[in-house]
Structure formats: structure tokens, C-alpha cells
Amino acid sequence: MKKFFKPTQEWQHLLLENPLTLLAIGLFILILFTALFGPLLVPFDPLESNTANALQPPSAEYWFGTDQLGRDIFSRVIVGTRLDLAIALAAVLLAAGLGTTLGLYAGFYGGHLERWIGRGTDIIMAFPLFVLAMAIVAALGNTVANVVYASAIINLPFYIRLIRSESAVVKSAGFIEAARLCGNANPRLIWAQVFPNVLPPLVVQMSLNMGWAMLNAASLSFIGLGIRPPTPEWGIMVADGAQYIVSGQWWVAVFPGLALTLVVLCFNLLGDSLRDIIDPRRRT
């Protein structure tokens, strides 16, 4: 147990020397709390319309104002956190799981398998990724599941390339040869020896990718190919409010846009902090 708690002072030093790390952790805790418990704490029903209160500016009653149908924007932003975060998390887990598996086998075995996986990755990367996501959702239908699949597919090459390069290096290490001489088969070498050593950069990539996945989902909704109204979703809310900015009702689009910006910033800062913690050479 002493060895387990020994790095505590080092972690405290790493956290305290970079205020942005503490900021990222604080924002992440806030976002997670909002996604889990926010829908239980909102003051209004996010789907309830009241045209008598349409386009009300921010006030003590309506903190973020109301939209064109009189719905409370604060309640919709809070409730939308769970959906956007769930879509991003599902897309990242799907892309990371499949990409890690393909990357591990491609880097470990090499040869024809690596070439075939590499060519498949190149085909995906040949398309503008957001345009590819648009085509997938347009072909399959704008449902939550299809948005997740589209976001996972366009992020898949990043995981394959990262894990393939890392596993190709790790497979030549001395401890891999020692494990092979002990009678371990290739599948066990891949998952028991190589995979734990590529996990740190994988975690960093997943953290950075969360922000991009949320942007992809919101962008698809913004152009009408994502989640359908009246579901509270940040991309839809920004799209609905964009037409009212010119006439002075800025709050309809600004507050959901700020929420999206804050979440993307949080995951980017969190990814940078994880990279600094994992790689000692970046702590200087």
C-alpha cells in the first residue's frame, strides 16, 4: 500500500504547478454532475412551450432567457448536456475499441494485415471527414445511433494509426521476447503485454477526441442531419437561435454555443494535462 500512495506528492505537484489542470478537472466534474443530475434540478420542463413568454431576455426567472416558443433556454441547455455527452462518449468508445483492436493487430503482425488495414484507413482519410459524416447520416437517417456511428467512423483512423505505430515499437521490446520465450501465444502477448503499454497515449487521444465528437454531433444537428427537434440538443438550439441574433435576441444562440465551447475547452485542457502527466519529458 505504501508504494501505491508514494506518488501522491508528485501528483499534487503536477496539479498545483499548472492551474489549467485544476480548471479542467473542475470543469469535468461540473459537466459530469450536470449530465447526471441536471435534468432533475432544472426549474422548467425543457419541452414545455409558452408563446406568451417567447423570446424573453435573461432575467431572474429565466436565467438564459426563452426561445421563440417560450421554452426556458437554461433548462434546455442543462438537459442537453446528458445527450451530447452520451453521444460523444459512445462514439469515442466505439472508435477507440475498434481502432485499438485493428491497430494492435496491424502493428504486431505487420505484413499483409497491416497493409490492408492501412489502405482502409487511407480510404476513410481521403474524404473530408465531416462531409463523410454527413453522407453517412443522410444515407442511414438522422437518429442518435446513426450520429454515433458516423462520429465513430470518422474518428477511427486516428486510433488505428496511433495504436499501430505504438504497438509496432512495443513488439520489439525485450520483455515481449521474454514473454514469448515463456510460452505465451501471440493473442496473449497482444492483450497482456502490448496493450497495457499503448494505453497511456490511447487515454490521451480519447480525452482530446471527446471534444471533437461533441462538435461533430452538434454540427450535424446544426445543419439538420443530427438530432431532431424538439429534443434539447446544443446544435439544434444554436441553429434555431442563429436567425434571431440580427434582431437582437442573442441569448437564444449564445448560451448553448457557450456551453458547447466550454465542454470542448474542458476536454482539450484535460487531454493536454493527461499528456503532461503521462510523459515526464513534457513537465519541464
What are the extents of the domains in the chain?
72-283
Q: Which residues of the chain have pLDDT under 70?
A: 1-17, 278-284
Report CA 225 to chain centroid distance, whole Å.
19
pLDDT for 13: 58
pLDDT of residue 1: 38
Which pLDDT does position 226 carry in this prediction? 83
Q: What is the pLDDT of residue 180?
A: 86
The pLDDT of residue 11 is 58
- For residue 43, what is the DSSP state? S
CB 72 within 8 A of CB 54: no
CATH 3.40.50.300 fits 72-283, yes or no: no
Residue 163 pLDDT: 93
Dihedral, CA of residue 16, residue 18, residue 24 and residue 30, to nearest 10: 30
The burial class, CB within 10 Å (0-12 / 13-18 / 19+), for 58 is middle
Nearest to 208 by CA among 146, 273, 164: 273
Predicted pLDDT of residue 6: 47
Kindly report whether the global pTM for this prediction surpasses the value 0.85.
yes
